[in-house]
Structure 1
Amino acid sequence: MAAPPSDAALPPGVLIQDRLASWVSDLTTLHELTERLIKTDSLDGALREMLGAGAALVGARRGMAVLEPADGLGPTSTIGLGLAHADLGTIETVPRGSGSYGRLLDGLSEADPPGAGLPDADPPGAGLPGNGSTAPRRPARVPEPIAIRDVRTEEGLDPRHREVAARLGYAASYALPLATEEAGRLGAAVWLYDEPAEPDERRRHLIGLYGRFATEHLARLLQVERARARVATVAEELLPSRLPRVPGVRLAVRHLTGPQGGGDWYDALPLPEGALGLAVGSVSGTGPSALAAMGRLRASLRAYAVMEGEDPVAVLSDLELLLRLTEPARSATALFAYAEPAQRRIVLAGAGHAPPLVVGDHRTEFVETSLSAPLGMLTCWEAPSVELSPAPGETVLLYTDGLLRRTGDATDRAFARLHAAASSVPRTDRSDPGAVADHVLRTLLPGGLDPAVEGEDVVLLAARFE
């Protein structure tokens, strides 16, 4: 049989066509993989997508990805492909300076001796006023990928490295830094081969292109994640650190924060003569400005409640005046209830807020409140208060509009679903206000908060009267 013609024996036109076809195929593959990656909206999801796509590009079956930003600000995580949690723990027992992904995380390439970590870039904040340096930040040096063709014969490996490879059944690895000059080092990925192998030049080129794109995408998600964490921290600091203990009533609260952080809030504060003030509310807008407005509004309501809490209409009237004078461009909803647990008596008033829901063994019904506009939308706000007397063992649910809107239903349908959820609370759970709140949330929002819907927080405050 005649041998196939070599590239040198082929006509130039055929060679060009073959190369063009190969380039088009590679570009199509990269386009498909990056399209899938860009659809991920969480760090964990992006890491898993990147790990699976990288395995296909380098021709490996298993692998792991480590997120460990070089600035030390976190978050950190390790995920595996075809590796159990115990396998990841076993790999992490390899001395960091010997493992390929560990060397990449510490800024070492194949040419660097162990322990030769180099400070590639100025620390975070360098070059900014007040940080002791006026020099512009230098781009981070990106370490080279590390290929180990055969763990058994590779020189300079720690014996523990060979032992772990034999135990887990891999014979070679290819490690790629998740790093670019602009983003810095975010982590590393390593793919494991069952037999001695390494990716050829074409595969190295493809995984390099994909890795740079993945790193930039991870850097964007990292900033979003950190911003969300900061907003969540601020929101929690602005809300009560714990609920008060007042004889005759048991309290529980559930607060779910949206991606950008909204202005939903709650409060529960002891008042003179064994009374209790309960409040929920929502400030228009999202992000830091809404959180700041929410903090100011909640603090003001606490002050008004201490001075005249037995008159909820007066409390909300004062709050209306404050909002119009200090934040004329913002509106808010609020509900304040003055409770006397010993008498099982509640007097409440609401401003543009959804009515409370009473849940008990013999009834599940909304409290009839008068319709009123939100705070900040009228020249003068005032609406009559409503009084109710919960029976022993009944729970009163106060909630924000986010609970209804997060269902995705029209308002009347959302109210009907909320009523049905409260009615279906098992009798064994009705003695625990926390269990009541959890059941309602699980029933209305079985998947939690939809990350695609921005800005709608959920607050559910439950008060069970003994």
Structure 2
Amino acid sequence: MARADSVGAATDAVVQALARAAVSAVEAVGGYAGGVYLRSRSGELLQLALFTGLPLPLFRPWWRMQVNRPFPVAEAYRSGQAVHLADAASAMSRFPQLVAGLPFPFASLYEPLIAGTERFGVLLVLRPATPGVPVGARDRRRLREAAEGLAHELTALSAAGEPVVWEDDPVTVPAAPPEAETGALGARRAVDRLAQAVLSLDRQGRIGFVNSAAEHLLGVGVGQLHGRLLWEAVPWLGHPSHDDHFRAVFMSSEPVHFSARRGRHPPGEWLSVGLYPAPDGVTVTIGTADPPAHAPAPAADPGAGSPAEQASALYRPVALAIALTEAVTARQVSAVVTEELLPAFGGRQLAIYLLDERHLHLAWETGFPQGFLNRFDGVALDVRLPGVETLTTGRPLFFESMQRLAAAYPGIPLDADVGARAFLPLIASGRPVGSCILGFDSPRGFSPEERTVLTALAGLIAQALARARRYDSEAALAHGLQAALLPHRLPVRQHVDTVGRYLPGSAGMDVGGDWYDVVETGSGRLALVIGDVQGHGVAAAATMGQLRSAVRAFALAGSTPEQVVRGTNRLLIDLDPGQFASCCYVVLDPASGSAQAVRAGHPQPLLRRPDGRTEVLDLAGGVVLGIDPEATYPVTELRLAPGAVLALYTDGLVELPGVDIDEGVERLRLALASGPPVPLAETADRLIGDAADRPDDIALLLASLTGGCERAGTQDTL
């Protein structure tokens, strides 16, 4: 295990301030551990800078935290609001990933370190759980005062030139000065008579008292034990399969017992380990033991051992699989649960019900007899069924056999005579989402570890489903916005044809800020417009609608092309600072073929000449809209010949991950040159036909002169 050095005389001013605040905060609210996370230099990470009251090596996975992760310390930092979790139930409902990694009964309090607009990090305290009793106002105030005092100190240090960021491993400090030895000589002799090894650990995991039997049982001299971290002095106790036992005893008030093998290469005898917690440390007892019925499985082999040991080895990858999945629909989330959760726990049946208008509706099922679950579809929340009661009470229900299920709910229809069932509440951030049913072919018990892990995973599933439902709602709204804001038809004019196409992207929200338009300016000319607003979803679609309306208003008012784009740029800055968009605006006179073009950070248009030669135009341009209120946009003069085709497009048509955009533009140029230019609608369909699976949105606008326009000079005719 890794070792974190204790703070010494050379500690700098920042660490001293952190240590004072952490220790005093722990004492003020009756905690047993606490620490401070500080931001990193990049601002993307929170790093545990200092901790007290727990052995740091046991908690290495939580030393660094991305600021956007769904964990309470990141939430407190992002929101600037305190997070108080009084027990495991409140933690499960809001932060199931925290409980998936630390499935123990404890309370945790997180207070952001803020001074004005400056956010330094988060002060946290761990303390015993108070099930059903929220954190009181006095403790909230005390923790807030401690955080405000520390933030004030850090502000002063920062002003004095001290960098208040953290890049190194955390340091550890004692929660209180070590107490003097007060045990009577007789008590020591009594413990020395025991055949068991007895060791006393402080809250950092360092060995204090050691009895005489320890030397024989551990194979280590007493002088080599005192003052060292337990897992350094006795390496076989530091095997990853034992980490959860030590985490549990340091974070809760319940004793822990497990079997361990002394030495691994070659395997030694089995020993029985007992861990007994107290506010000032942990007593460890070690004695000889018979080989257990189920030996702990190797870390790389989660399929061996007892069901509880399998669950302990499996819950991390399962939680990670669910947390990292990119599933965005309820169906995709359910498929992930089927593929990941059922095999991990040996399940065969799965059903997911979602809550809507106080009724549970079947959203997904697998493994049940066909049609069996239909009778439960649409049940109200006042019906006495386990799938309903697990949601209304927030408590998971486990039935080791179908007989126990039938006894608890007389008259309930059963799909089999044998098996076991787990009913899990799907609750996300305190809001009911639905319920999940896991079915097993054979009767089986559910260990405390499995129950905790399954409950935590249910919270992850609930969050994913809630996110999927928000996605569905937002997607429907965004699609509606986009359908309303894009032109339903383009103007029909003599001597010119125009065709527009829009194709949503295949990733994410499926709607974005791409748009096109054709505007009759009132002077006999046509304004051809194409643009791309940054981002996707409702916000991008709404901004797109505002920009399209602004361009139309400026064009209809008789503004010049440069005035249209400049005015739209200033409007976007006023509407949404920080948002930006690209645009290409071309005003075409169908009678003469003359055109004026303005480009704001948008891809260069393509032009196919009447003889089939196709080129990328070189239009002068300005910066994208929304960046510089004083930006200017030069105008390029063009003239189109009859039969020429002008192609305006957004970058989704030419961009592919890992491919230079110039290659995409060249492919589009060749595609425009390769086929006949008319009918124009077929040309548009052909150009976007190969782009159906592109991740980004695509907009395309084609314009072609059909003849009859005035002849122009030969040099500038395109």
Is the pair's TM-score, using the shorter chain for normalization, greater than 0.5? yes
Cα deviation code 1:307-334 (max 9, x no counterpart):
226x433422443455577777665421
Matched, 1:199 2:479: no
CA 1:279–1:433: 2 relative to 1, 3 Å: same
Cα deviation code 1:342-385 (max 9, x no counterpart):
77765432122212224689636345232322244484513123
Partner of 1:14: 290
Partner of 2:334: 47
Partner of 2:421: 174
Partner of 2:714: none
Shift of 1:305: 1.0
Matched, 1:33 2:33: no
Q: Map of 1:329-408 to 2, 5 A cutoff?
A: 331-339=580-588, 347-358=596-607, 363=612, 365-374=614-623, 375=625, 376-377=627-628, 379-389=630-640, 391-392=642-643, 396-408=646-658
Shift of 1:96: 1.8
Partner of 1:441: 691
Contact 1:108 1:143 in 2 (8 A): no
Shift of 1:142: 3.7
Contact 1:437 1:460 in 2 (8 A): no
Matched, 1:66 2:66: no
Partner of 1:298: 548
> Which secondary structure does the structure 1 equivalent of 2:622 belong to?
coil
Matched, 1:281 2:531: yes
Cα deviation code 1:30-72 (max 9, x no counterpart):
22322222221114333212123333245344x3443524567
Shift of 1:269: 3.3
Whole-Å separation in 1 of the counterparts to 2:359 and 2:546: 30
Letter in 1 for 2:402: R
Whole-Å separation in 2 of the counterparts to 1:24 and 1:30: 10
Letter in 1 for 2:352: V
CA 1:192–1:398: 2 relative to 1, 3 Å: same
Q: Which of the numbers 235, 246, 255 marks the counterpart of 2:492? A: 246
> Which secondary structure does the structure 2 equivalent of 1:299 belong to?
helix
Letter in 2 for 1:305: A
Letter in 1 for 2:326: D
Whole-Å separation in 1 of the counterparts to 2:597 and 2:463: 48
> Which secondary structure does the structure 2 equivalent of 1:30 belong to?
helix
Matched, 1:219 2:463: yes
**Percent identity for Structure 1 against Structure 2:** 18
Cα deviation code 1:292-315 (max 9, x no counterpart):
554443322111111226x43342
Letter in 2 for 1:281: G
CA 1:91–1:398: 2 relative to 1, 3 Å: farther
Whole-Å separation in 2 of the counterparts to 1:54 and 1:431: 49
Shift of 1:28: 1.0
Contact 2:499 2:681 in 1 (8 A): no
Whole-Å separation in 2 of the counterparts to 1:397 and 1:73: 52
Contact 2:647 2:700 in 1 (8 A): yes
Letter in 1 for 2:598: A
Q: Which of the numbers 394, 402, 407 marks the counterpart of 1:149? A: 402
Matched, 1:237 2:486: no
Partner of 1:96: 376
Whole-Å separation in 2 of the counterparts to 1:288 and 1:176: 36
> Which secondary structure does the structure 2 equivalent of 1:269 belong to?
strand
> Which secondary structure does the structure 2 equivalent of 1:432 belong to?
helix
> Which secondary structure does the structure 2 equivalent of 1:249 belong to?
strand
Letter in 2 for 1:179: L
Q: Map of 1:115-130 to 2, 5 A cutoff?
A: 120=392
Cα deviation code 1:390-416 (max 9, x no counterpart):
654x65432223444444423323322
CA 1:58–1:28: 2 relative to 1, 3 Å: closer
> Which secondary structure does the structure 1 equivalent of 2:290 belong to?
helix
Contact 2:352 2:435 in 1 (8 A): yes
> Which secondary structure does the structure 2 equivalent of 1:14 belong to?
coil
CA 1:341–1:371: 2 relative to 1, 3 Å: closer
Give the superposed CA RMSD: 4.7
> Which secondary structure does the structure 2 equivalent of 1:244 belong to?
coil
Whole-Å separation in 2 of the counterparts to 1:148 and 1:274: 81
> Which secondary structure does the structure 2 equivalent of 1:353 belong to?
coil
Matched, 1:411 2:661: yes
CA 1:341–1:72: 2 relative to 1, 3 Å: farther
> Which secondary structure does the structure 2 equivalent of 1:337 belong to?
strand
Letter in 2 for 1:458: D
Contact 1:266 1:459 in 2 (8 A): no
Partner of 1:460: 699
CA 1:388–1:143: 2 relative to 1, 3 Å: farther
> Which secondary structure does the structure 1 equivalent of 2:619 belong to?
coil
Shift of 1:173: 6.8
Larger Rg: 2
Contact 1:359 1:396 in 2 (8 A): yes
> Which secondary structure does the structure 2 equivalent of 1:272 belong to?
coil
Letter in 2 for 1:278: L
Matched, 1:210 2:435: no
Cα deviation code 1:146-190 (max 9, x no counterpart):
67738xx996255xx76xx8xxxx976735335247444433444
Cα deviation code 1:114-168 (max 9, x no counterpart):
xx97994xxxxxxxxxxxxxxxxxxx63463567738xx996255xx76xx8xxx
